[in-house]
Amino acid sequence: MSMTELRNNLKLVVFDCDGVLIDSERPSCHATARFARSQGLEISDQEALERFAGKALPQVTQELESLLGHPLPPNTADILRQGLVDLMEKGAEPVEGAMALLKVLTAQHVPMRVGSNSSEAEMEAKFRRTGMDRYFTPDRIHSATDRNHPKPDPDVYLYAAQQEGVTPAETVVIEDSDTGADAARRAGMSCILLRDDGLPLPPYWPVAGFVRVRHLREVFPLLQDKLTLL
């Protein structure tokens, strides 16, 4: 296997949520930036996106405290989470190509799960708003934050594979953040990294079993001859 090729005999596809299925990374980070500015921190929306994308809210809260130089109220992560739930209930949108990819994988009977740093409450709001709840029953949606092991800890991906009854080597993760891709790397899984041209690749790149795509329409052709279920 080359350094730019998925493993063979894949049996499970695990999606990250934000930035892969739901176009929520930017509005979520912008909401965090607005909160940070309300606390006296000078941070732009773009700086917040670059700093916080892919991270769990407890991690974000810790970084905000470090930047501010003082602790925030103990319920800050909960306040931010409820704000994101409200935001997503009103305006969550699918990433371009996500619905088409889910439809074709479902038609081919490919097992799919979600492993995200978002809470289950956040994902429920996002999937209900976009109609993705038709593709993922609650028992196939896993929150790294709710499990107290946010990415880059590989726990949520290892748990998803365990629940499916497959090995890490038989699992491919679809990610967009360096943090999430690192979790897949630590889990010993293949990974498809969704990353636009002009954006840097993770510092640990290249990794065996990892490939980069620019659009979700590229995903199924890559998987088609790697899945044992088709």
| Short-list 95, 100, 154, 147, CA closest to 126 | 95
CA angle 185, 216, 60 (to 5 degrees): 55
The per-residue pLDDT for range 39-70, each reduced to its tens digit, is: 888 888 888 888 887 677 788 889 899 998 99
The per-residue pLDDT for range 153-201, each reduced to its tens digit, is: 999 999 999 999 999 999 999 999 999 999 999 999 999 999 999 889 9
Structural domain spans, the chain = 12-24+93-224, 25-91
- Please check whether residue 68 is in contact with residue 40, taking contact to mean a CB–CB distance below 8 angstroms: yes
Greater confidence (28 vs 196) lies with 196
Top CATH class of 25-91 equals mainly alpha
How many CB atoms lie under 10 A from the CB of residue 50?
Answer: 10
Average pLDDT over residues 217-228: 95
Give the list of residues 6+ apart from residue 99 with CB closer than 8 angstroms, or none.
130, 131, 132
The percentage of the chain sitting over the pLDDT mark of 70, rounded to a whole number, equals 96
Give the list of residues 6+ apart from residue 139 with CB closer than 8 angstroms, or none.
163
The CATH superfamily assigned to 12-24+93-224 is HAD superfamily/HAD-like (3.40.50.1000)
Tell how far CA 221 is from the center of its chain: 21
pLDDT of residue 94: 94
pLDDT of residue 26: 72
Tell how far CA 199 is from the center of its chain: 17
Average pLDDT over residues 197-222: 95
